[in-house]
A and B are shown apart, each in its own frame.
Chain A
Amino acid sequence: MLIVEDVFTSYGMIKALNGVNLSALEGEITCLLGPNGAGKTTLMFTIAGILRAQAGAIKFDGQSIERLSAAKVVEAGIALVPENRLVFPTMSVEENLVAGAFIRVAKDRAGVDDDIERMYTRFPVLKERSEQMAGTLSGGEQQMLALARALMSRPRILLMDEPSVGLAPLIVEEIFQIIRDVNADGMTIMLVEQNANMALSVADKFYLLEHGRVTFEGAPGELEQDDVIRRAYLGTE
């Protein structure tokens, strides 16, 4: 569904992505693992159109999207849940959900309202807090809201950048269960994670990113788990 070919992205003189090749198959959960600084977030931003690659191609269902602006990428059906910036803190939970459906709200207000109801059914906690300012939610609730909000744009693939960061282990379990559920409903997911254990427990396929390049790809059973986890956390020299 999503193919990244030979993508190079740099900031001035810092080369963050040095020829990344990977793909995400429809209906699967694909995980990106790797140490800090490997380029995982850069890759997410590049796919989402927030950063522009200097070279390479990104194809989504056959359509080339590497030159599209972020707004157009969202319209194409790709939704990003960025790391750490989960919500608009001064807006209410409900307003955040409406924001997620920004591209549809003018034409299809009724559809958006239906979707909000659907999100409330799936995430009852959000319904309880629907009028509350999003900034006052707990970490886990904010992550849930961010996920719900991304789903509001009716994407065909969901990109998630480090959903477990800053959350207590029990909450992380909850979030990952939700990720499994969303995927079970048919959503393709690409996940960046530091928490290699959690990530590998949901992944259909994973890639190891180091120094801006893919150094390993496979299914969770393939490489001895410990080696992958070691390399994912520490990187090789």
Chain B
Amino acid sequence: MVDFIQNCIDGVMIGAAYGLLAIGFTIVFGVMRRLNLSFGPSIMLGAFFGTWAFLTLNAAPWMVVIITITGTVITGIYVERLCFWAIRRDATIASMVSSFAVWMQLEEVAILMLPGRTYPFPEMFVSGGLNFGPFFFRAEHLTTLLIAVLMVVGIRLLLYRTAFGLALRAVSESPDAAKYMGVNPSRIIFWAFILVSLIGGVAGYLLLATDQQVTPYFGLWVTFKGLIAMMLGGMGSISGAVIGGLVLGIIETQTQWYLGNAFKDMSAYFVMFLVLVLRPGGLLGQGIVERHDLAFRRV
């Protein structure tokens, strides 16, 4: 029982970071209806910049944080301009494949920057842990959770209490209607990407600083986690993304503990598949993506 709860605790902590990633995917998908396959790789590249600074310039942790986030944002802008802004709005698959092509580019840039498989990533500015009864809380985990909570609160405030947030929600709802309100969807999308890159950079930093190593495959890994978490919770809602992240985190830690590493990833995909088949709207969705959703959605 203690193990189970400890796993839940660990799961929630990691899940918080997954939730942030899911929020990133959710916002971008919500506002553009297109999937950005380069989101993970952008974070990976930002992290590589951070690592490079750490290794060659001996940068301090806070410096690494800033470089990671900045790197992610710059890469995000590149992706947005090339793959999304430049392509017709209704060509969803083209944008996706374009972002995939850019993913390949980003991976190669990372490998050119730092050849080799794995690099150490600086640890977080805190370490150690807390004991609370029979349970152990890693300092990195607590920091992740704290920062994630702060960010989610911040994002909610941004979305619901600011003009920008209103415009973003309007564009997600209907870009045409938003135009009649005087909103420029392209500009909103651009800033949404910046926002999402910031979130991603932070989430990436938290995950890597906990793990203390980084590889070029981090991009792929992040993409999977973010997508699954987003889908689990139901697309189109911040709360859903967060819940999806937490659920994913818990599923992972529990299966890893009881069934071993081999089943950890598989169980995530299995749950994902089950959710999609049984409740495509996600756990928080309305279960209404029904047989005749043909009536309201075109590929």
* Interface: A13 (CB within 8 A): yes
* Interface: A216 (CB within 8 A): no
Least CB separation from A48: chain B residue:
B295
* Interface: B286 (CB within 8 A): yes
> Contact partner of B288 among A11, A45, A50, A52, CB < 8 A?
A11
Determine the distance from Cα of A51 to Cα of B292 in the docked complex, in whole angstroms.
6
Report whether B292 and A12 are in contact in the complex, using a CB–CB cutoff of 8 Å.
no
B281, B286, B288, B295 pick with most chain A CB within 10 angstroms: B295
A63 to B: closest C-beta gap in Å: 21
A46 to B: closest C-beta gap in Å: 10
> Contact partner of A45 among B281, B286, B291, B295, CB < 8 A?
B295
Report whether A51 and B288 are in contact in the complex, using a CB–CB cutoff of 8 Å.
no
Determine the distance from Cα of A13 to Cα of B290 in the docked complex, in whole angstroms.
12
- Contact-size category for A: under 10
> Contact partner of A50 among B281, B286, B287, B292, CB < 8 A?
B292
**B282-298 contact mask (Cβ, 8 Å, vs A): 1 or 0:** 00001110111011000
Determine the distance from Cα of A11 to Cα of B294 in the docked complex, in whole angstroms.
13
Total number of residue pairs linking A and B with CB closer than 8 Å: 18
Report whether B290 and A50 are in contact in the complex, using a CB–CB cutoff of 8 Å.
no
B121 to A: closest C-beta gap in Å: 44
B88 to A: closest C-beta gap in Å: 14
Least CB separation from B290: chain A residue:
A11
A-side contacts of B288, CB under 8 Å: 11-13
Least CB separation from B287: chain A residue:
A12
Determine the distance from Cα of A9 to Cα of B294 in the docked complex, in whole angstroms.
16
A-side contacts of B281, CB under 8 Å: 12
Determine the distance from Cα of A45 to Cα of B294 in the docked complex, in whole angstroms.
11
A222 to B: closest C-beta gap in Å: 33
A-side contacts of B291, CB under 8 Å: 52
A-side contacts of B294, CB under 8 Å: 50
Least CB separation from B294: chain A residue:
A50
Q: Which of B241-299 contact A (CB under 8 A)?
A: 281, 286-288, 290-292, 294-295
Least CB separation from B288: chain A residue:
A12
Q: Which of A25-60 contact B (CB under 8 A)?
A: 45, 50-52
A70 to B: closest C-beta gap in Å: 9
A-side contacts of B287, CB under 8 Å: 12
Report whether A12 and B295 are in contact in the complex, using a CB–CB cutoff of 8 Å.
no
A186 to B: closest C-beta gap in Å: 30
Report whether A13 and B286 are in contact in the complex, using a CB–CB cutoff of 8 Å.
yes
B236 to A: closest C-beta gap in Å: 13
B145 to A: closest C-beta gap in Å: 33
Least CB separation from A45: chain B residue:
B295
A-side contacts of B290, CB under 8 Å: 11-12
Determine the distance from Cα of A50 to Cα of B286 in the docked complex, in whole angstroms.
20
A-side contacts of B295, CB under 8 Å: 45, 50-51
B-side contacts of A13, CB under 8 Å: 286, 288
A-side contacts of B292, CB under 8 Å: 45, 50-52
Q: Which of A166-193 contact B (CB under 8 A)?
A: none
**Chain A positions near chain B (C-beta within 8 angstroms):** 11-13, 45, 50-52
18 sample A-B contacts, Cβ–Cβ < 8 Å, listed by A number: A11-B288, A11-B290, A12-B281, A12-B286, A12-B287, A12-B288, A12-B290, A13-B286, A13-B288, A45-B292, A45-B295, A50-B292, A50-B294, A50-B295, A51-B292, A51-B295, A52-B291, A52-B292
Add 11 more A-B contacts to A11-B290, A12-B286, A13-B286 (CB < 8 A): A11-B288, A12-B281, A12-B287, A12-B288, A13-B288, A45-B292, A50-B292, A50-B294, A50-B295, A51-B292, A52-B292
Which 4 pairs, one residue from A and one from B, show the smallest C-beta to C-beta distance? A12-B288, A12-B286, A51-B292, A11-B288
